[in-house]
Structure formats: C-alpha cells, structure tokens
Amino acid sequence: MDATLPLIIRILLMTIFMYGPNDWHQYRQNIPKKPMLIVVHGGGYNGGHIEPVSNNLIGWEAFSNLYGIDVFLVHYKIATEEESSFPQPLWDIKQAYDELMEIHQPDNVAFLATSAGVSITYQAIKKYSIPAGLIGFYGLTDLEIESDFSEGVNEGIDQYISAPYSRRHASPIQKPITHTDVWLVHGMEDDFVNVHQTQIMEPYHEVQYLQGKNHAFNVWDNCSDLIRSFVYRIS
C-alpha cells in the first residue's frame, strides 16, 4: 500500500470500520490509550464482508461505550470460483493490525473472529508473531476433517485453497499458537462447523461450549462479558 496516501484514504482502501468515541484523525493526537478489539468476520472463505457484520450484529457501539473498548472491523481477500485467496488473507490481517497499531497504540489489543475468520486470524497471529490475543467463535481449526463441515463450508474451503497449498497448510491445528492467549467458543448444535473443530484444540487453548447454540449465534447477546474479560486480561 502506498505510504504517501493520506491516512484516511489508506484506511478506507483497507476497509476498516471503527466504533468508538474518537474520529480517525484524532488518533495521532493525545487521545488516552484504550483497549482495542479487532473484529474479523467469517463467511466460509468465499463470502462475508464488514457491511453485513456491522449491520446485523447489534451492539458494536453499545459494547464500545459500555466497556471502554474501541472496536475495529477489518476485511480480507475473499476467494471466488475463479481465484483462490490463501494465503493472502493472512497478510491482510497483518496489514490491518500494523496500521491500527500505528494509529491507535492501545494499552492492550485482542482479535475477535468468527467462523472462517478464526482460522485466518489464528494463522496470521502465528505466522507473523502478532502479540495479540484471539477469542474465536465457531471456528475452523482442522480443514482436513471434511466430515466436520457442511457441504457449503467444504465448497468454500475448496475455493479458498489451491495448489501448491492444501487444506493442511490452512489448518491452525498444524501450528498451535503458544506466544499469546487464545479462547475458543462453540455452540453444541452447530451443523455447519461441528463442535469437534474446537474440541481438538483443547490441549492448547481455553475452550467454552454453549448448549443449544448453532452456527453464527450472536456473540454480543451471549458472550459480551466474556469478550470484555478477555480483552482486558490481554496485555
């Protein structure tokens, strides 16, 4: 990305939305440091965007104001039938993180990711040694276990990855994170991404299971206190 572009233009090109009390340009001034939550959407690798996330998950601004945490929504390259995207989304997350840290310089920072966004963010944190924690909801961790996924999810994975890469290369289970905190949450009734995808990560990370919850449950309605506690314990 061209470093000479004005800051706000660079941010818009990266498609980062922000919820909090301060405008973008103010972050280079003496704004008191606050915790930061970077939200990475899901969408099966071949779908998803910030717009539906910001519109459908009610409570971004309320969460920010209630807990004193600035919330940023970031996007990444989406796979299509014509073009796979792996590993570009990992780099997109790294770029977004670097840009936000340059602007914001928070006291502490954590990622919140859902579904496909969990595996993308997890691998980005590991690959680039990003010193930020991750709280992941109904995520994919071992893409080689095709029976754990619905037909639609498997189609998305196949679009996401192409030679010389394989499902193994895109699976977080192959290189578990050890340098920062990870907390994984999954609904027990998930019929898109089987809860087994979180269970296999129990030897490495904290996990939590929610009874009666399917895929894509509203994280704010069910886990806002958990998210707050996770962000504030990361330092």
Find the CATH number of the domain harbouring 106.
3.40.50.1820
Q: How many of the other CB atoms lie within 10 Å of CB of 200? A: 16
In a domain, 25, yes or no: no
Closest CA relative to residue 140, chosen from 148, 128, 151: 148
Tens-level pLDDT at each residue, the chain (235 residues): 444 433 333 333 344 455 444 454 444 455 556 788 898 989 999 987 665 454 444 566 777 778 888 888 888 999 999 999 999 999 999 988 988 888 777 778 899 999 999 999 999 999 999 999 999 999 999 999 999 999 999 999 999 999 999 999 999 999 999 999 999 999 999 999 999 999 999 999 999 999 999 998 888 778 888 888 898 876 5
pTM, to two decimals: 0.86
Return the pLDDT at 204: 97
Distance separating the N- and C-terminal Cα atoms of the chain = 29
Q: Which domain holds residue 172?
A: 33-233
In a domain, 211, yes or no: yes
In a domain, 101, yes or no: yes
In a domain, 8, yes or no: no
In a domain, 61, yes or no: yes
Return the pLDDT at 232: 84
Measured between alpha carbons, how far is residue 56 from residues 60, 110, 119, 169, 232 in Å? 10, 21, 22, 32, 25
7-14 and 88-104 helices cross at what angle (nearest 10)? 150
The structural domain count of the chain equals: 1
Return the pLDDT at 214: 95
In a domain, 17, yes or no: no
Upstream peptide bond of 21 is cis (omega within 30 degrees of 0)? no
Return the pLDDT at 17: 53
In a domain, 26, yes or no: no
In a domain, 9, yes or no: no
Return the pLDDT at 31: 54
